[in-house]
Amino acid sequence: MKRVELIDVSKSYDKQVDVISNINVTIEPGEFFVLVGPSGCGKSTMLRMIAGLEEITGGTLKIGEKVANNLSPNKRDLSMVFQNYALYPHLTVQQNITFGLDVKRMKKDEQHKKAKEVAEMLGLTDYLDRKPRELSGGQRQRVALARAIVSETPICLMDEPLSNLDAKLRAHMRSEIRRIQKSLGITMIYVTHDQVEAMTMGDRIMILHEGKIQQIGKPIDIYNYPANPFVATFIGSPPMNLAKAEFHETDKQLIIGSEFKLNVPAEEIGKLPRTSMTIGVRPENLYPTTPETKEEDTFHVEVTNVEILGNETIFSFKLGKEEWMAKWGGQWHIDIGDSLPVHMEFESLSIFDEQSGELIKKTIDYGKYVSNKEVPS
């Protein structure tokens, strides 16, 4: 296993505008590290720089203890899985898997042994004599993965490998790749634009936007404590609701979107800025009211859209110029045009500085824990 370290790494094609700027990150040995962000943010470019397929304009790339800036791709001791699989159509599955071993001049019987071991691990044993055109998309993806694994390199790079698969197969392959990475103990650097993939697969994730790091951390920490409004809306489905807010000194209330008022606990008043701020709340933290709900923490909304998903109900409503979403567990008989009472708590808010976007108030930790104690019979 090897560490990958990027120190002040940047990339420019015209030597004037950086498409990637000041990237500083250390990817630990055996870590599943995910680069995520919208199209054009620079995540694939960064992966290709690590692979040696793109020149590094500035900064230092270290693989293990070596500076790798000028190392050719074949000397970086890594493998790569591409979005389009990159299989040779005239070769069989087994020949595709062992192609890299053939280049290394490994003995044929050793190649066949390794190919069979990897094929068994990925459920490809029955397809070793087939050509790629005889395989489904998921099977082709497994062949590409097998080719990367059989090389036994300590680092594997993946560039949106599941984007061509249907939703059900993507979910299956996510768990398959994660399982294989853990069992082999390799360092995996995985690029995706799908935040669900990032949340479910990564030990840590890096969020990029316009070539700059927005946040690095464990998926659940980024979900709960986004560093800025961009991260807040990029991670989470549905995304975090955002709105402008101001603190009303006389009433000790937050005025949200110039419409809704929310009481501020006395101990929190001194922590709030006295200028305009951006507040955020996750859709699942907007609650239906109960007999115990305080009237001052309730506001009425007019429903503009409804999605009933069986295990949960998501509905939209207008808050000033913004469209907000609420997510309630279970099935609710809600129609467009209904007026609903919605309960919100100050503790559940994330508050961002209006100018810098910096998170200045975190939401509370909603995590639940499973007790290891035996339950009495």
Please give the pLDDT value at position 365: 81
DSSP string computed for 145-168 = HHHHHHTT-SEEEEESTTTTS-HH
Confidence of residue 372 (pLDDT cuts 50, 70, 90): low
Q: Could you tell me which of 300, 273, 276 has the C-alpha nearest to residue 286?
A: 300
The partner residues of 247 in beta bridges, in order of sequence, read: 254
- CB 206 within 8 Å of CB 47: no
pLDDT tens-place string over residues 146-179: 888 888 889 999 998 888 778 888 888 888 889 8
- pTM for the structure as a whole: 0.89
The mean pLDDT value for 218-231 works out to 96
Please give the pLDDT value at position 250: 80
The yes-or-no verdict on residue 329 having pLDDT over 90 is yes
- Residue ranges of domains in the chain: 4-229, 230-361
Residue with the bigger pLDDT between 105 and 371: it is: 105
The mean pLDDT value for 294-323 works out to 91
Phi/psi for 209 (5° steps) reads -150, 120
Domain 4-229 listed as CATH 3.20.20.70: no
pLDDT tens-place string over residues 332-351: 999 999 999 999 999 999 99
CATH numeric code, 230-361: 2.40.50.140
